[in-house]
Amino acid sequence: MNYKVLNIVLLTGFLLSCSEDFTDLAPVSQRNVANFYQTGSDLEVAVNAAYSALQQDGTYNEAYWIMQEMRSDNTDQGPGTTGLARERAVIEDFEEISTSEIITNAYVDSYLGIARCNTVLDRADPIDMDATLKERIKGEARFIRSLLYYHLAVSFGNIPLILTETQSVAEGSEHVQVSAETIYNQIVQDLIQAENALPISYDGSNLGRATKGAAATLLAKVYLTLGDNGSAETVLRRIISDYGYSLVPDYNDLWGVPNEHNVESIFEVEFQGGGFGEGNRFTNDFSPVPALQTSVGAYRNRPTRSMLAAYEPGDSRFFASMDTSYIDDQGMLLTNTADDVRFVVKYGIDNPFNEGDAPNNFIVFRFADVLLMLAEALGEVQEAYDLINQVRARAGLSAIDGSTPGTFQEKLLQERKVELAFENHRWADIIRFGVVDQIMTAEGKQAKLLFLIPQRELDLNSNFSQN
């Protein structure tokens, strides 16, 4: 996508003017805003800054995949156990402390993005500009804010609900925690407005912005989280019938830079390699050292042995999602059997421009998730099996039905596990399905449902309570 590059000079100035002294809230009193937010172009730059929050280490570039995949049974930290590897390992083992840098980054960077969305929403109305464009930008801000709040609610539970631009650090210290249910209900309100305001699609330099389908997909997921399957079904059927998505025929064609924004993709976090300061670091993080042209791989977010065993024979998703062998820098073939090598390949091999500067986007939502969520909303009826079997057929697998061993929930959760592996759905899924203890006990771990509130937030807010 080009919109961040087009605005890079203005955006850099905007970002440098934001204070991070208090979480997330970027107080107005500490920013030079007197001559900003005067035109439609100013508002576009401001919403681009909100998008850029999705690229941060505390969001999709690092923390979210640690908290949503590595926390689950899908992946582990990898073979290292010292330094940063150790910090990731304690999160994986439910032993993190409240001063964890990774968890603190997730909290701070998420609220930083929320603050930028609040600024857009508070500053938009007085600006004299095209009314349709203004409403679209406000819809984008509501979607991004909702996406960030969704991750915070899943991860931390009781958190502050901040919906306006914070005017001072003192004001920020007076915020109070609300329940995750309150957060989800606010997300529902925001996403209904966002879906109405956003277009079905974009092209050109706007490709990759939030669409009706993106807002609706997150809305359906939140309805399922709230247990409102009927409302989720209504939204999901609208996505299927009205917004033009379909499954890519070959699962392999979902991945890699040439396949970005395909007909199955609903929303992606944009990254651009090549020295623009917009590249991702997770390609290096996921890959073994010799597998990349930069020869810098951290070999993290490693598929667990149970993840390898989850795929049925002949499932084409296995090697499109992960690999179990590579050629080392001495030309020797390493295999899973000999060296326990297993790594994620969905997010790019052999393509970073520099270390931490890969161009691969992170796919947040895609149409297969919509089909499986509709099956979840419907429960065990024939139509639900038909939806699951659409996804299975693409993977080269035979159909399942009520006579297939296991409960309907077990079969659906299994299909979500292998179809959406490493895409930041697993932890939220096993919470929503109510099987965290069962799943993690099988991994030999005693699970905690919530992450600790970062200590810095407790120090700043005496009225906060710790999870």
- The overall average pLDDT reported for the chain is 89
**What pLDDT, in 10s, does the model give residues 267-276?**
999 999 988 8
DSSP letter string over 332-365? PEEEHHHH---EE-TT-SS--SSTT-B---EEEE
Of 70-84, 183-197, 270-284, which one has max mean pLDDT?
183-197
Under CATH, what is the fold of the domain 3-210+434-460? 1.25.40
- Read off the pLDDT of each residue in 36-64 and give the average, rounded to a whole number: 95
**What pLDDT, in 10s, does the model give residues 73-95?**
999 998 877 777 888 999 999 99
**What pLDDT, in 10s, does the model give residues 317-333?**
999 999 887 655 555 55
HSE toward the beta carbon, residue 325, CA cutoff 13 A: 8
Q: In the chain, what percentage of residues exceed pLDDT 70? A: 88
Q: Tell me: pLDDT of 22 over 60.
A: no
CA nearest to 260, candidates 346, 166, 386, 144: 346
Q: What is the pLDDT of residue 29?
A: 40
- Read off the pLDDT of each residue in 113-117 and give the average, rounded to a whole number: 97
Residue 295: band (very low, low, confident or very high) from pLDDT cuts 50, 70, 90: confident
Q: What is the pLDDT of residue 332?
A: 58
Phi and psi (nearest 5°) for 177?
Answer: -80, 145
CB atoms within 10 A of CB 128: 9
Of 15-24, 82-91, 347-356, 366-375, which one has max mean pLDDT?
366-375
Q: What is the pLDDT of residue 21?
A: 33
CA dist 402 and 411 (Å) reads 10
Instruction: Please give the C-alpha separations between residue 239 and each of 54, 220, 385, in angstroms, as whole numbers.
Output: 24, 10, 19
**What pLDDT, in 10s, does the model give residues 390-431?**
999 999 999 999 999 999 999 999 999 999 999 999 999 999
For residue 436, give the DSSP letter.
H
Q: What is the pLDDT of residue 335?
A: 54
Q: What is the pLDDT of residue 337?
A: 47
Scored b (16 or more CB within 10 A) or e, 146-177 reads bbbbbbbbbbbbbbbbbeebbeebebbbebeb
Q: Sketch the domain layout of the chain as residue ranges.
A: 3-210+434-460
